[in-house]
Structure 1
């Protein structure tokens, strides 16, 4: 999609979401923009349900698209209800084993929307572990020493896998990155997190003990939450991880605006800004909040956005909900260019070195064997072969993009 069409269709999509959030009839679609184009952008960013409640007030949507769009909103509601019930079942089963849980992201944010059909959910993320209180410092994983806490984490992985299997789930991944992954037909996907960020993240030190900021539920000793302020900071941290890696879509910007509408007035903003400064997210949050305010703050306008917000919106719309491989290559190469002071050749060589000698990727694929240094060269070769066999088109596209980059 060309930039001009993307800007006009994207701006109208923002208008539809804003109207849906504030129960305002949508203005006519701009000349030259098609409903199918707007819907495709909504689908690419997983905001079909949000946009539908603005779009439904228009009578010029093609009949087949109107039926499809309305059905997508109903499916969003169906998934939401099913996920909520399933999450309670999972948490109850884990609590019987002594595991504590702290729901995160979509599971909480969906409750802030004016209609349950608005916020789509692909999976359920939560922090889990066997935890104990620390004097004046919240909680931590059980254990007096680092070794004991590592053993506790390992025990937690074994227990959660057994419990999820007992509930009919199959394991998608275990001990990979910072979370496990389980799925069950027809729609359920749970991602229990041992920690909030990977060890290579620039925010690893900040979130070294995420339970330090956890607040225990007064009715359920195994259920925890973050304060509104810490929840907001984590939403920004998680969004930036995707934004900085392979891009992300506009859904988290809407999440930001909805959360601020519900809780922003009562939040301790001195604390929030202090934590954002510590995590290096102060500028990112300001950019996101500016777009959230002008795009989803209730003005329900279709006027062009200011340059900075329009530029950010274009980046997000093109990226899609979870980013894409093209954006990943661009972002990684841009970082190499900055590192090599604009020298494109050096940047490309640095890019290749980083991709070919990726210790973090080895940790994901071979969490135990990769800890043995003499095995790493052989494991890298296995990683290359595995990638070529499983993702030949993706790798070919990455090489092509790198060659063509200017």
Structure 2
């Protein structure tokens, strides 16, 4: 994997800097690179770089087809974002374009940064009005989950309307920090379009990545975002401010680990074992992660968690979690801790009919002990402080 890691870094940098990469090294299969590109939503940035190598023409032809599809999607999304912003501005709805829609604009070309959907935050209880705007653009409601509504427009456009950026049930500090528009400013030339400062967007970028990492894992595209964003802006920003805010949100060590990986993978620094293991884990997770990965975040971030030495320990934890974990799903345990056994029973019965629960059990049965240790050490090293309480200080 180390050789693939190094060559993938060369491909990404070649595309970012408009250079020609070296040909695929011996021992690396082009199919491996294609799979990683697809699984991490990096088709354009990786495959476009590969087109500059000495691949057979028939292989280049198939790559060009994938790149064309990715380009069409990206450019359609850019047009949709522009129309959505104009309509929300005309309706006087306070809003903020989020995540990939912002990152797209900083890359040398927007198609280099692929994304699945268009995320927008709606402020000041304007959600119903925003829904009418989106429906007026031809979108229909697919579903409402957690703190956002998902709208789709065939063949491939998706808009997520958010009314909260982060859940207070996951981390109170993060919820408080991003709860309202106090960290935003109005875009130049607009009245109702809000945006983060350069520093606060970076904090948001890290917190959002940490959330996905904790819940299911996330892919290497996030590392490229962090590398390139820092390359553009860190010379002029307030690093002390950023560190303070990251610490406030419980993700300072997480950022340090990911930033180190970015410097190692794309910045030419000497590789360390933790960064190599983290890279391999992110590559395997892919852009959406895997639901069963969430168990490692839960195990590693709870207070007083014993060291997980093998999959038997992890399985025991999964079937009989500590009360601090159980209280999240069964709040009545806070006042009635003596009913922990009953809660375990309810959880076990519920899990029999739950797809995610079955996947987690299968994962714990199939995984080998070396991988248990490696993944556990990764999550423990990230030091995510995702607790539903305010951190002291």
Matched, 1:83 2:97: no
Give 1:79 deviation, angstroms. 1.8
Taking the aligned partners of 2:79 and 2:259, their CA distance within structure 1 comes to 32
Q: 1:81 to 1:208 in 2, by over 3 A?
A: closer
Taking the aligned partners of 2:146 and 2:165, their CA distance within structure 1 comes to 10
Q: 1:30 to 1:128 in 2, by over 3 A?
A: same
Name the TM-score, length of structure 2 as normaliser.
Answer: 0.79
Return 5+ residue gaps in structure 1 as ranges. Answer: 1-5, 131-152, 361-376
Among candidates 189, 194, 199, match of residue 168 of structure 2: 199
Secondary structure at the aligned position of 2:111 is classed as coil
CA-atom RMSD in angstroms: 3.0
Return 5+ residue gaps in structure 2 as ranges. Answer: 332-342, 370-393
Taking the aligned partners of 2:87 and 2:247, their CA distance within structure 1 comes to 38
Matches within 5 A, 1:255-404: 255-297=225-267, 299=268, 305-335=271-301, 339-340=305-306, 342=308, 344=314, 347-351=317-321, 358=329, 384=350, 388=353, 392=355, 394-403=356-365
Contact 2:166-2:175 at 8 Å conserved across structures? no
Contact 2:216-2:293 at 8 Å conserved across structures? yes
Secondary structure at the aligned position of 1:204 is classed as helix
Contact 1:16-1:26 at 8 Å conserved across structures? yes
Q: 1:165 to 1:103 in 2, by over 3 A?
A: same
User: What is the match of residue 223 of structure 2?
Assistant: 253
Taking the aligned partners of 2:73 and 2:184, their CA distance within structure 1 comes to 28
Contact 1:340-1:346 at 8 Å conserved across structures? no
Taking the aligned partners of 2:129 and 2:255, their CA distance within structure 1 comes to 37
User: What is the match of residue 386 of structure 2?
Assistant: none
Taking the aligned partners of 1:344 and 1:42, their CA distance within structure 2 comes to 31
Among candidates 16, 19, 34, match of residue 14 of structure 2: 19
Q: 1:71 to 1:210 in 2, by over 3 A?
A: farther
Contact 1:337-1:347 at 8 Å conserved across structures? no
Taking the aligned partners of 2:135 and 2:15, their CA distance within structure 1 comes to 40
Q: 1:338 to 1:118 in 2, by over 3 A?
A: farther
Q: For 1:203-254, what per-residue CA distance to the aligned partner results, in whole angstroms no more than 9, with x for missing partners? A: 4344353300110123110111110000000000000011122110000110
Contact 2:218-2:288 at 8 Å conserved across structures? yes
Q: 1:70 to 1:116 in 2, by over 3 A?
A: farther
Contact 2:34-2:47 at 8 Å conserved across structures? no
User: What is the match of residue 153 of structure 2?
Assistant: 184
Taking the aligned partners of 2:194 and 2:132, their CA distance within structure 1 comes to 22
User: What is the match of residue 115 of structure 1?
Assistant: 109
Q: 1:225 to 1:337 in 2, by over 3 A?
A: closer
Secondary structure at the aligned position of 1:207 is classed as helix
Contact 1:36-1:65 at 8 Å conserved across structures? no
Give 1:53 deviation, angstroms. 3.5
* More deviation, 337-346/83-92: 337-346
Taking the aligned partners of 2:70 and 2:228, their CA distance within structure 1 comes to 18
Q: 1:286 to 1:333 in 2, by over 3 A?
A: closer
Q: 1:344 to 1:265 in 2, by over 3 A?
A: closer
Taking the aligned partners of 1:401 and 1:258, their CA distance within structure 2 comes to 34
Matches within 5 A, 1:9-88: 9-59=4-54, 61-88=55-82
User: What is the match of residue 93 of structure 1?
Assistant: 87
Give 1:82 deviation, angstroms. 1.2
Contact 1:79-1:187 at 8 Å conserved across structures? yes
